[in-house]
Amino acid sequence: MDTRLIIAANPAEIETECLVVFSLDQSNNKEPKPALNPKNPSIDAAAAELVSSGEISGKSNEAVLLHHPRGLKAKRLLVIGGGKAKSFSHLDLRKAAGAALRALKPRMIKSCAFTIPELATGSEDAVRSIVEGAYVADFDPDTYRSDRKDFSMQAITILSPGGPENDKLQRALEQARIIGESQNFTRELVNEPSNRLTPTMLADRAKNMCESVGLKCEIMGPDKIKEMKMGAFWSVAQGSDEEPRLIVMQYTPSGAPEKPVLGLVGKGITFDTGGISIKPADGMEKMKYDMAGGAAMIGAMRAIALLQPKVKVIGIVCATENMPSGKAQKPGDVQIAMSGKAIEIINTDAEGRLVLADGLHYAKTLGCTHLIDAATLTGACVVALGGVNAGVFANDEDIYQHFTRALTRSGEKFWRLPLDPEYLDMIRSSIADIMNTGGRWGGASTAAVFLKEFAEDTPWVHLDIAGTAWIDDNKPWVAKGPSGIAVRSLVEFVKTFEGNSN
């Protein structure tokens, strides 16, 4: 999609297939009081009848399309609701921009122009939100349909009033385009069926991406995994005929301090049957998305390489299938992780924490001083938080504050869950150091405290994205299917370390 910023002193004079403006509800009570934002006499006049009739209310993501609007050079005027004016934020604007694009796509409208609404946090935030929202909205999951029609938007224009901040708006647009494209790249990976994205194929896609943006990439197979004594990772991989891949992506910008070195570790289970502890058949087809954490790291590394923050970052993805076979590990087996810890396997479907255990330890051997991992790890997190929030855990308050600052920019929803020592007691083994599951209760926290044993004293954040990595129903602003959750937050997380040499 072509994205550009143009100076337009008066948006009413712009010739475009569709001019997009935002409406906000200015009322403090139940009776809507809509007003267009930004205000423009010609656009207000064109939409006056729709406002007076109550067809436009300002309700969030409400879309009203007017053909041949009087007094405008645009062929159409789309008025998209942003909700209550008093609480209108860049998060609401991102969704509204996405809703606008998804309202236009089925009508085969291939280009549009957005006005920049007034936003409390400024015009740069507004531009970023519009562009990110538009890119995310442009993705559809129907990749393999034989009758697939191309509804994608070809070009969007952001109308700037001009002035001294125009260069800043242009930079904001370019940064948002990179993040939007990278989130969609992650979604493309997650959307692929497992026969078309094996661990080897995922590694190839990661390597090609790295080559295109100038990242160093190393791909390692089973021999190297076993040579490095990654017994936890290998225990999952041994049951599949598909070879595992350890993907290592390195971003080392010139001028960056020696420390910190951030380690981004992702779970890359390209299909999860549960292994010998096999899952029920109902819904198993969705287990192609069990590599969403790894895909998020790949997408984030793409964005980081293009945005070029002055921070060293290493991305690690442990990619394998989890399959039942005569070679598969069994409940009761004991595996020795790369760190030397002995793990009793209670349930082979608790495999994500096994691959991450070795991924986290390996990141430390590469010199990472701060760690963050992402995984579709536990159903327990979905039970606790549903599809609204993803879970976040941290062993260090300072790194957690970095992550919360990232969330204020990314707008993604995460909720902190506990890591009390009692959860570790629930996974202590009588035959080994720890068990890979602590039973039914507190499953998200016992999984996280398992990982904490491998992060040890290194500042670490764990993201359990099981409930939010896949969207079951279409939303006004985004298609059902893979969400690309965590890409935006990971990028913003890395940026919070710029200028921090600790």
Q: How much is the pTM?
A: 0.97
Angle at 398 between CA 397 and CA 404, to 5 degrees: 85
Torsion, CA 63, CA 66, CA 72, CA 73, rounded to 10: 100
* Integer Rg of the chain from CA: 24
Torsion, CA 171, CA 176, CA 177, CA 183, rounded to 10: 150
Tokens of 252: 């080392």
Q: Does the pLDDT value for residue 502 go beyond 60?
A: no
Identify the active-site residue in 94, 245, 267, 353: 353
- Could you state, in order of their start, the residue ranges of all structural domains in the chain? 2-144+153-160, 182-495
Select from 30, 100, 34, 32 the least CA-distant residue to 61.
Answer: 100
* Residue-wise pLDDT tens digits, 304-340: 999 999 999 999 999 999 999 999 999 999 999 999 9
Q: Does the pLDDT value for residue 500 go beyond 80?
A: no
Going by their DSSP bridges, the two strands 342-344 and 434-435 should be labelled as parallel
Q: Is residue 309 reached through a cis peptide bond, with omega within 30 degrees of 0 on the bond before it?
A: no
SS3 95: helix
pLDDT at 499: 77
SS3 323: coil
| CA separation for the pair 32, 48 (Å, rounded) | 15
Torsion, CA 308, CA 201, CA 237, CA 272, rounded to 10: 90
Q: Does the pLDDT value for residue 268 go beyond 60?
A: yes
Residue 4 pairs in a beta bridge with 157
Identify the active-site residue in 75, 229, 279, 416: 279
Q: Span 475-489, mean pLDDT? A: 98
Q: What is the CATH code of the structural domain delimited by 2-144+153-160?
A: 3.40.220.10
Cβ atoms < 10 Å from Cβ of 207? 17
Could you confirm whether 39 is annotated as catalytic?
no
Percent of the chain with pLDDT over 90: 95
Percent of the chain with pLDDT over 70: 99
* Residue-wise pLDDT tens digits, 121-149: 999 999 999 999 999 999 999 999 999 98
Tokens of 75: 């062929």
Q: How confident is the model at residue 46 (pLDDT cuts 50, 70, 90)?
A: very high
pLDDT at 501: 54
Select from 223, 318, 330 the least CA-distant residue to 270.
Answer: 318
**Could you tell me if 242 and 199 are in contact, meaning their C-beta atoms sit under 8 angstroms apart?**
yes
| CA separation for the pair 268, 292 (Å, rounded) | 7
Going by their DSSP bridges, the two strands 460-464 and 390-394 should be labelled as antiparallel
Could you confirm whether 353 is annotated as catalytic?
yes
Which contiguous run of DSSP H or E holds residue 22?
A: strand 19-25
Cβ atoms < 10 Å from Cβ of 214? 10
pLDDT at 131: 98
* Residue-wise pLDDT tens digits, 77-112: 999 999 999 999 999 999 999 999 999 999 999 999
* Residue-wise pLDDT tens digits, 204-232: 999 999 999 999 999 999 999 999 999 99
Q: What is the CATH code of the structural domain delimited by 182-495?
A: 3.40.630.10
Q: For residue 87, what is the DSSP state?
A: G
| CA separation for the pair 441, 301 (Å, rounded) | 35
SS3 76: strand
Q: For residue 279, what is the DSSP state?
A: P
Instruction: List C-alpha distances in Å: 252 to 204, 284, 315, 363.
Output: 21, 39, 11, 15
**Could you tell me if 463 and 375 are in contact, meaning their C-beta atoms sit under 8 angstroms apart?**
yes
Q: How confident is the model at residue 164 (pLDDT cuts 50, 70, 90)?
A: confident
